Chains A and B, each alone.
Chain A
Amino acid sequence: MLIRYLSQIGRYFLMLKEIFNKQTKWSVMRNLIFKEIDDLIIGSLGIVAFISFFVGGVVSIQTALNLTNPLIPKYLIGFATRQSVILEFAPTFISVIMAGKMGSFITSSIGTMRVTEQIDALEVMGVNSLNYLVFPKIIALLLYPFVIGISMFLGILGGWIAGVYGGFTSSTDFISGAQMEFIPFHITYAFIKTIIFAMLLATIPSFHGYYMKGGALEVGKASTVSFVWTSVSIILFNYILTQLLLGS
């Protein structure tokens, strides 16, 4: 079992090496990158905006409901919402959600190409299929921090609206809390995590789709396995990066 996992990890790194070999013609690659930006980035904005806005609201309400001691100032609602959204919710939990949305899309689309011999067709023509299929996804996901930036903004906005219009805090308190003891490095930390998660989101689902065997049923199974491993990797890297960047 351990040997099988190690062999899979080895195969994953060999795949990463092969992605950057024998580049596809730029005129073709450019169009592929734009298509992936549309599918993976633009296509995710709606769900990311929706989830971020409402979860930001919930964080604000739950923080307010837990501040039962009258000595604790109300501006902590804004502070807690900002910290939760920027440090954890936007970079990590949106990425776990994207492992389901983007990841299953990537695995199933590449897996279907494998099942229908489209990948064999690319290889027979002399195309580096890994470069053709995975490289544009990696480049498109360099824009992923832009999605997370929007998620941060909408999360805090949702928190502000829920806090103020729900009667839990005043706008002034929330905003002053949101500005209180702001550490710019926290934004850097969040975006470093985001870039690493973007690479995991592009490559792990591609790996599971590219090397799958079987038919339509196996495409579904590969999507599920891909979601599990992408999520596990994101959570694991989240811990490691937090320890490295904030722990010292």
Chain B
Amino acid sequence: MIEVKNIEKSFGDSKILKGVSTVFETGKTNLIIGQSGSGKTVLLKSLLGIHQPEVGTISFDGRIYSDLDADEKRELRTEIGMVFQGSALFDSMTVAENVAFPLRMFTKDDKAKIDDRVDFVLKRVNLIDAHKKLPSEISGGMQKRVAIARAIVNNPKYLFCDEPNSGLDPNTSILIDNLIQEITEEYNITTVINTHDMNSVMEIGEKILFLKNGLKAWEGTKEEIFRTDNEAVVAFVYSSNLFKKVREAHLKE
């Protein structure tokens, strides 16, 4: 469980997060949504320790990040898996080397054991024949799956995903969403996803945090988002006719 308490973050004179509090639950896919500039990425990067909030605390299963020393922070980071928007695969390494990277860095496992684990996670993300390919030789969807495999290879407690569906076709997006949800349940991970994709919200949003102008404007589940009358959420989520009709149909049921 990740507990965020009243965090504030500014860049120069511009205050991006203005006191956000929430809880991201273990074994659930927690989604952060909101318009561009609402503070989603800053919140995610604060959770990752890339940005340090000026006010407030972030605790990982009771460990307050700002109270940890440098070694404890590095130790905590080994419990984190991250899927970046652009996958952030190391382009000089093959798919298998990318996935093996956290194991080679942080475990004392021998090569055979590492190879077995890499095979296992690549099978888990349905990538069997891509071991020796370079990231530039595979599609965007496959790159995302490699990034997910790299993020989970070290059995993380926390999985963060920044726009995991950006640039993907609808079929691949659904595949990635389902994969993340399955992995979250299977390994009982605290998963936090930053997304613009309303399909993801409707499909895998077990806990949804809606940010507006750096403040928490709403939070709830995918079932609750259909029924909410929060104007900001309705204006953002149901801005397209398609989703308006989906909502109407859902409310009629």
Contacts and interface: CB of A to CB of B under 8 A. Distances in A.
B238 interface: no
Contact of B88 (A27, A117, A126): A117
B105 A25 contact: yes
B78 interface: yes
A126 B75 contact: yes
B86 A116 contact: yes
A128 B146 CA distance: 22
A127 to B, nearest CB: 6
B88 A127 contact: no
B106 interface: yes
A37 to B, nearest CB: 15
B11 to A, nearest CB: 12
Interface string B83-99: 01110111100000000
A28 interface: yes
Nearest to A119: B88
Nearest to B101: A125
Interface string A17-37: 000001011011000000000
Contacts of A25: 104-105
A121 interface: yes
Interface residues of A, number: 16
B97 to A, nearest CB: 10
Contacts of A126: 73-78, 80, 106
Contact of A28 (B48, B77, B85, B104): B104
Q: Chain B contact residues: over half helix, strand or loop, or mixed?
A: mixed
A125 B102 contact: yes
A121 B45 CA distance: 12
B86 A125 contact: no
Contacts of A123: 50, 77
Contacts of A24: 105
Interface in B92-141: 101-102, 104-106
B50 A124 contact: yes
Contacts of A124: 48-50, 77, 80, 82, 160
Contacts of B78: 125-126
Best-buried of A22, A25, A112, A116 by chain B (most CB within 10 Å) = A116
A219 to B, nearest CB: 14
Contacts of A112: 91
Interface string A108-120: 0000100011101
A27 B104 contact: yes
Contact of B86 (A22, A28, A117, A127): A117
A116 B50 CA distance: 15
B194 to A, nearest CB: 13
A112 B135 CA distance: 15
A28 B86 CA distance: 25
Contact of B77 (A27, A117, A118, A125): A125
Interface of A: 22, 24-25, 27-28, 112, 116-118, 120-121, 123-127
Given A126-B75, A126-B80, 18 more contacts: A22-B74, A25-B104, A25-B105, A116-B86, A116-B88, A117-B86, A120-B84, A121-B82, A121-B90, A123-B77, A124-B49, A124-B77, A124-B82, A125-B102, A125-B106, A126-B76, A126-B78, A127-B105
Interface of B: 48-50, 70, 73-78, 80, 82, 84-86, 88-91, 101-102, 104-106, 160
29 contacts: A22-B74, A24-B105, A25-B104, A25-B105, A27-B104, A112-B91, A116-B86, A117-B85, A117-B86, A118-B89, A120-B50, A120-B84, A120-B88, A121-B84, A121-B88, A121-B90, A123-B50, A124-B49, A124-B50, A124-B160, A125-B80, A125-B82, A125-B101, A126-B73, A126-B74, A126-B78, A126-B80, A126-B106, A127-B105
10 A-B pairs with least C-beta separation: A126-B77, A117-B88, A121-B88, A126-B74, A124-B82, A117-B84, A126-B78, A118-B88, A124-B48, A125-B102
